[in-house]
Amino acid sequence: MKPTIIFASMFFLIATVSMADERILFSFDKPASAQPWQTVNDGVMGGRSDGRFKINDDKNMEFFGTLSLENNGGFASVRARGGNLTLQKDDVIVVRVKGDGREYKFNVYDQPNLNGFSYRQSFKTKKNEWIEVELPVRNFVATWRGRVFPNQKLDLNNVAGMGFLLGDKKAGPFKLEVEWIKVKKNEE
């Protein structure tokens, strides 16, 4: 076999294995992309924050609105049910986002109704700059109404949804653009 053919074959094999180690959980390039998503804001507890989402012309999800601290408010979120969400303990969730410089939280839920504990990690955005945020599954921490429950463990076999939350105690407008959410194997 010629060296060029061997090299090309090895490259194809490595690329195929590499692609198999990644799986798209959510992308926003199809008309039905918005279907599993919904907003949940502090209005459920009397707050006045206004968080919304849309699929924009660039086929990205925009999570946007105004965070309010009035009436004991202070959070806005968008979350989705379903999808191919099975996770393994050594997985890393990767999100490609363009933000406004604020700190957001990424939540994972293991209850079908997305109630109960949310398993959370925070990430900081760079204003008007696309970044890829890596969130190792092993680092998610159980929270409920802002309190941490370190002994509660995420049931990886029952992951039913995931989403984004803003609750940085800074009133004002916000915008987070999401190109995709995927999962990959931890390379460590």
DSSP codes joined into one string, 72-128: G---EEEEEE-SS----TTEEEEEEEEB-S-EEEEEEE-STTS-S-EEEEEEE--BT
pLDDT at residue 111, rounded to an integer: 86
Chain position carrying tokens 């696309």: 130
pLDDT computed for residue 12 by the predictor = 38
Higher pLDDT, 13 or 64: 64
155-180 per-position pLDDT tens digit: 999 999 999 999 999 999 999 999 99
Mean pLDDT score of the chain, rounded to an integer?
88
Identify the sign of the CA torsion 61, 23, 99, 77: positive
Tell me the pLDDT band of 2, cut-offs 50, 70 and 90: low
Q: What percent of the chain has pLDDT over 90?
A: 75
Provide the CATH number for the domain formed by 22-185 in this structure.
Answer: 2.60.120.430
Indicate whether 72 pLDDT > 90. Answer: no
Give percent above pLDDT 70 in the chain.
Answer: 88
Dihedral angle of Cα 154, 139, 179, 99, to the nearest 10 degrees: 120
pLDDT value for 17: 38
Q: Where are the domains of the chain?
A: 22-185
Region 92-98: what's the mean pLDDT?
A: 98
